[in-house]
Structure 1
Amino acid sequence: MSLPTVTATRYVLPLREGGSLPGVVEGNDLGTYVLKFTGAGQGPKALVAEIVVGELFRRLGLRVPELKLMHLDPAIGKSEPDFEIQELLLRSAGLNLAVDFLPGSFGYDGSAGNPGDAGMARILWLDAYVANVDRSWRNPNLLVWHKNLWLIDHGAALYFHHSWMSAEKFAGQPYDASDHVFSVAAAGVPAVDAELAAAITPALLTEVIGLVPDEWIDDGDRERYLGHLTARLESRAAWLPGGAR
């Protein structure tokens, strides 16, 4: 199994939010995407986290915009008049990550798209599991589209891979839920713990890690991701918001 692959046909405009400068791009399948670049400051590892976390969340029932791989021709970069964007496009020639663009979506503000207590607890549990530090009210990375809540931007998760801290250290790393957009749901997290933990099997983790293209990861590191995420699952008492049940 692999992610679908498309080719960029036109760079439309930058999304000047955060440091990675993603852009809206059209593909040869007539789709419109938010393109996340390998040449951005965070590099390919942020895209690895996007795929592993986004696809894991999707398989556990959360809404995540469809992810595809996208080939970017350097000729598109050469025609871009903005020097900063041109440099980014040229550095990112080749394979990048395309996230389905949700036209008319808007940022979650606590009213429309509210997932309810159980939904908030599930999201909080999963963010704690993958060590996602980027889901605060300052930047919730949640969109409301057609009255439903969609989760985006998971490149800051799995921070263990930037320095490859040991699996044992990552497994027991506490998660500070106090700044999380759904911190109010911490008391309900133990009630969803058994269900979510049972659903995250070695086969599921192997599947989502396997979706990362070979250009961004080697086979040895695939095993390291599996080992780190398995170890963390087995050490939930150390990081579970609301306390272990």
Structure 2
Amino acid sequence: MNKIDIRTVNVIQYVQPLREGGSLPAIVKADDGYLYVLKFRGAGQGKKALIAEFLGGEIARALNLKVPELVLMNLDDSFSKTEPDEEIQDLLKFSIGLNLGLHFLSGAITFDPLVSDVDALTASKIVLLDSIISNIDRTTKNTNLLQWHNELWVIDNGASFYFHHDWKNWEAHLTRTFPLIKDHVLLQSATRLEEASKEIQKLLKPEKIEEIVSSIPENFLLSESDTMSGNDMREAYIKYLNTRLSKIDVLVKEAENAR
């Protein structure tokens, strides 16, 4: 099975915490010389948030939306030893090993629907993306979108796929739609949902879904609290995404009704 070519880099400098989110991501420098926003495996939602971030980001990229490069980031134990802030110290300690980073878009500003325009097709694709991945966190309160070089960039998909926090009941989510789309920040601009759905169906074929899901690091899937194997989880993500795509017309109607 094909996999996405995702780079692995080492963290060489902890630059500063980003205190906007509850999970305390941080700007770090890697051994390739670039800055990244590091999402920690030791944060509140743990590795599940990293999986959601990875899947959501790579699916968005497959839909030709702008997404910062995602990289795997090795963090060693040296940073927690020199960090004076106890909260950050604990986070660093619990995150030793493989984490996830997004290329830092220097100078980017948070998307504000009151002052920024977005074209209707892009808005429609993002709305349907979030219906497909069940992303509860792209609202006016927290847009998780950036304006950079006059383009709209999709970031922070860690609140997606919330069914994976309870694997015992995940199959119950296969028959559900996504009523929370009513709170989506781009819903009013999403006037080309029908056209967007056709484009999504062309771009997100079952083999593309398999390629993305098979690229989740095994390390992210392993958890003492989960009884499912990594392979079973992969199969569940694939089935979930294919089921969502099979009823994209229903998701379109739901979003149109909400708008």
- Tell me if the contact between 2:121 and 2:192 (Cα under 8 Å) persists in the aligned partners: yes
Q: SS where residue 33 of structure 1 aligns? A: strand
1:230 corresponds to 2:246: no
In the alignment, is the contact (CA less than 8 A) between 2:128 and 2:251 conserved in 1? no
Q: Which runs of 5+ in 2 are unaligned?
A: 222-229
CA distance in 1, matches of 2:199, 2:150: 26
Aligned-pair identity in percent equals 40
**Equivalent residue, structure 2, for 1:33:** 36
- Distance in 2, Cα, partners of 1:20 & 1:116: 31
The within-5 A match list for 1:181-192 is 181-192=185-196
Distance 2:30 2:93 in 1: 17
Deviation at 1:49, TM superposition (A): 0.7
Do the aligned partners of residues 113 and 64 (structure 1) sit closer, same or farther apart at CA in structure 2, a change above 3 Å counting? farther
Q: Which of 139, 144, 162 is the matching residue for 1:141?
A: 144
Q: Which runs of 4+ in 1 moved over 4 A?
A: none
Following the alignment from structure 2 to structure 1, what is the Cα–Cα distance between the partners of residues 179 and 191?
Answer: 14
**Which shows bigger deviation, 86-95 or 176-185?**
176-185
**Structure 1 length-normalised TM:** 0.93
Q: CA deviation at 1:237?
A: 4.2
Counterpart of 2:199 (choices 195, 200, 216) is: 195
From 25, 46, 63, give the equivalent of 1:60: 63
Take 1:239 and 1:171, find their aligned partners in 2: how far apart are those partners? Answer: 12
Shift of 1:20: 0.4
- Letter of the 2:178 counterpart: P
Residues 144, 154 of structure 2: 8 Å contact kept: yes
Asked if structure 2 preserves the Cα contact closer than 8 Å seen for 1:130 and 1:158, the reply is yes
Query: Mapping of 1:78-157 within 5 angstroms?
Result: 78-110=81-113, 114-157=117-160
Query: Does structure 2 retain, via aligned residues, the 8 Å contact 1:124–1:185?
Result: no
Number of aligned residue pairs: give it.
Answer: 243
Task: Note if contact 2:110-2:145 (Cα within 8 Å) is conserved in structure 1.
Answer: yes
1:20 aligns with 2:27: no
Instruction: Tell me the secondary structure at the aligned position of residue 69 of structure 1.
Output: strand
Instruction: Provide the C-alpha distance between the structure 1 equivalents of 2:191 and 2:116, rounded to a whole number of angstroms.
Output: 21
**How far is the alpha carbon of 1:167 from its aligned partner?**
3.4
* 2:256 aligned partner: 242
- Cα deviation, residue 190, structure 1: 2.3
Q: For residues 7-31 of structure 1, what are the alpha-carbon distances to aligned partners after superposition, in whole Å with 9 as ceiling and x for unaligned?
A: 0001111000121000111101111
